Amino acid sequence: LHPNGGDRDLTQEILNAVDEHETVPTNELFPHTSQAEIKAALDRLASRQMVEYDTNDKEHVVLTQEGQDIVDEGSHEYKVWDAVHKAGKLSPKDQALSTPSAKLGQGNAIKLKWIKKDGDAFVPLTDSVTDTTREQLRYASEHHAFEDAKLLKDYQKRKLVATQKVITYIARKGPRWAREIPVEVTDLTAEMIADGSWKTATFKPYNFKARGVLGEAGHGGTGALHPLNKVREEFRKIFFNMGFVEMPTARFVDSGFWNFDALFVPQQHPARDLQDTFYVSDPAEAGPPGADESVDVVLAETAEEDDDESDKPTSSDPATRAAETTSKLDYNEYFENVKRVHQDGAFGSIGYRYPYNDAETRRLVLRTHTTAISAYCLHRLAANPRPCRYFSIDRVFRNETVDATHLAEFHQIEGVIADYNLTLGGLQAFLKRFFRNIGVPDLKFKPAYNPYTEPSMEVYAWHEGLGKLVEIGNSGMFRPEMLLAMGLPEDLRCYGFGLSLERPTMIKYGISNIRELLGHKVDIGDIEKMPAVRLDRE
Ligand code: PHE
């Protein structure tokens, strides 16, 4: 088998040519071989220093179809003259003069004094003409350049020629020139060392530029990640580096209480309608709000896992770990507080003042935001109130019409920061820092409304491609009537913010249709090939 795999040995052909001609412009010698093949063969020889080569970039003039027609049949003006000359006298209405090309040629034929108007008809002024256009184009087609370089612009404008970049390799003998590639050894064996043949053997050089074998990934291969999970991992690292602890989000189904009521979303709020939220029909109801022991176990474990990450300030605080497994308020008491805030007003809030329906709190929903988990974790924090930072990145569900940018399920990145006497300015400063960490420099904030935060701000950033500000997240300070009802102290305030995981992923991978990323239309082969990402961290 030849080194280049085919039944033709291009490397040997190049060696023969260099041996014969000293310097060889390869394209002239191998006009029908692709540049890539020639380059691969040259590189094979150059890596062994058998051959050296230079690369020449040149602009070639090539004829367009119209230019080629002129070389084949003569210029437009020539054809007009030819027709008039043959006929002796020709009416402009004659068929030979009514083609589009003849119309183009008439003016020139007159200007060149080849024909003239005689009454209603054209008559020839000469018996022979020199078709300069045709001559110049013929020259260009043979030499890939004009005899007079100044002509190029003009002919390009007339769309008779175009230019093409052509790479020529010029090869010559190298310092370790040989007529053939010697037999090469790829492995150093025990026998070679024993019998000393390694001393004279020719070893095949390493090719450090070779591309690696594409790893198996994406569909159960070596456990590589889906692009969404790759970006998720990047965000997790950023959160960990900023001292955040991950919240346990492994419950897609939650009660209306945690998804809505605890967040001060009134029971008549449109977000709670069937058109916006998926309700579970079997079972349709959760028990009354209470401790979810499985979640508590995860929270405790998550806090322990954090020890592995060396650069997290909060994880070294032993209180961080213990706190989440107990809560200060009995759930009945907390439930009554939430009900009171909604129905009658409490903790400084005048409430919504509507009859609160306990059954609504038990309806099971596919969670519409991960803020349901944040509420749960903040409530657990009340047992041992202290500054802390929580984050989560997981799936949420909304009853949306599916289109290029919306799916009925997507992923939210969410962060919560609790600390004493936080201010809105502090939230803005934090968001600026967070987004700078993912390569988004200048933020703008717009007042917004969330039932659970006041004030609330939408976060905007400049999108270079779209040339406008686009919304990249939502944020706010959790309402006191939400936090106080949990039993958190008055001066402990809390930031919250959220963004979608899909948007940065689509931007990173240049995907414009979300259905190429998630769902049944995804091309698994594409997913497998998508490379790792890196958010542009500072
Ligand atoms: N839950 C909000 C959303 O779904 C995001 C958010 C989280 C806003 C926390 C404020 C505070 O868009």
Centroid of chain to Cα 206: 33
Kindly give the distance from the C-alpha atom of residue 470 to the centroid of ligand 1, in angstroms, as a whole number. Answer: 17
Range name among 331-335, 394-398, 445-449 with the lowest pLDDT average:
331-335
Give me the pLDDT at residue 181, please: 85
Q: How far is the CA of 77 from the centre of ligand 1 (A)?
A: 73
**Model pLDDT, residue 304:** 45
Please report, as a single letter, which amino acid is at residue 520: H
Q: Which atom of ligand 1 is nearest to the CA of 456?
A: 10
Predicted confidence (pLDDT) at residue 264 exceeds the cutoff of 80: yes
pLDDT for residue 8? 66
Site to probe by mutation for ligand 1, drawn from 412, 446, 494, 499 as the one with most ligand atoms within 8 Å of Cβ, is 412
How large is the greatest C-alpha to C-alpha distance in the chain, in angstroms?
Answer: 113
Sign of the alpha-carbon dihedral angle for 254, 259, 260, 264? positive
The yes-or-no verdict on residue 442 having pLDDT over 70 is yes
pLDDT score at 291: 61
Q: Which atom of ligand 1 is nearest to the CA of 412?
A: 4
Query: Which residues, 6 or more positions from 128, have their beta carbon under 8 angstroms from its beta carbon?
Result: none
Strand (E) or helix (H) holding 498: strand 492-500
Ligand 1 atom closest to residue 396's alpha carbon, by position in its atom list: 4
Convert 21-61 into a string of H (helix), E (strand) and C (coil): HCCEEHHHHCCCCCHHHHHHHHHHHHHCCCEEEEEEEEEEE
More confident residue, 415 or 1: 415
Higher pLDDT, 151 or 532: 151
Is the pLDDT score of 329 beyond 80? Answer: no
265 CA distance to ligand 1 middle (Å):
12
pTM: 0.60
On the question of pLDDT at 4 being above 90, the answer is no
- Residue 418 near residue 403 (C-beta atoms within 8 A): no
3-state secondary structure of 169: strand
410 CA to centre of ligand 1 in angstroms:
14
Residue 509: pLDDT band (50, 70, 90) is: confident
The mean pLDDT of 458-483, rounded to a whole number, is 91
- Burial class from Cβ neighbours inside 10 Å (0-12, 13-18, 19+) for residue 400 reads middle
- Distance (angstroms) between ligand 1 centre and the Cα of 499 equals 8
Cα(516)–Cα(519) distance, integer angstroms: 8
Closest atom of ligand 1 relative to the 374 alpha carbon: 9
Residue identifier of the C-alpha nearest atom 11 of ligand 1 = 496
Q: Which atom of ligand 1 is nearest to the CA of 369?
A: 4
Q: Report whether 389 contacts 417 (CB < 8 A).
A: yes
Residue nearest to atom 8 of ligand 1 (CA): 475
Please give the number of the atom of ligand 1 that sits closest to the Cα of 416. 9
In this structure, of 24-28, 77-81, 307-311, 414-418, the range with the lowest mean pLDDT score is 307-311
pLDDT score of 321 more than 60? no
Closest Cα to residue 482, out of 331, 370, 343, 349? 349
- Binding pocket residue ranges, ligand 1, CB within 6 Å: 369, 371, 414, 450, 453, 474-476, 496-498
Ligand 1 atom closest to the Cα of residue 475 is: 10
305 confidence band (pLDDT: 50, 70, 90): very low
The alpha carbon of 367 and the centre of ligand 1 are apart by a number of angstroms equal to 13
Query: Does the structure's ipTM exceed the value 0.85?
Result: yes
CA of 330 to the centre of ligand 1 (A): 26
pLDDT digits (tens, 9 = 90+) for 97-107: 888 888 889 99
At residue 237, the pLDDT reads: 93
Mean pLDDT of 495-508: 91
- Which of 370, 371, 452, 471 to probe ligand 1 with, by most ligand atoms within 8 A of CB? 371
**Average pLDDT of the residues of the chain:** 86
Q: How far is the CA of 37 from the centre of ligand 1 (A)?
A: 55
Q: Which of 378, 395, 450 to mutate to test the pocket of ligand 1 (most atoms within 8 A of CB)?
A: 450
Least confident of 29-38, 53-62, 68-77, 158-167: 29-38
pLDDT at 216: 62
Q: Buried (b) or exposed (e) across 48-73, using 16+ Cβ within 10 A?
A: bebbbbeeeeeeebebbeebebbbee
CA dihedral 305, 310, 311, 313 (to 10 degrees): 60
Q: Single out the residue of 344, 371, 335, 332 nearest to residue 257, CA to CA.
A: 335
Q: How far is the CA of 342 from the centre of ligand 1 (A)?
A: 20
Residue 465 pLDDT class (50, 70, 90 cuts):
confident
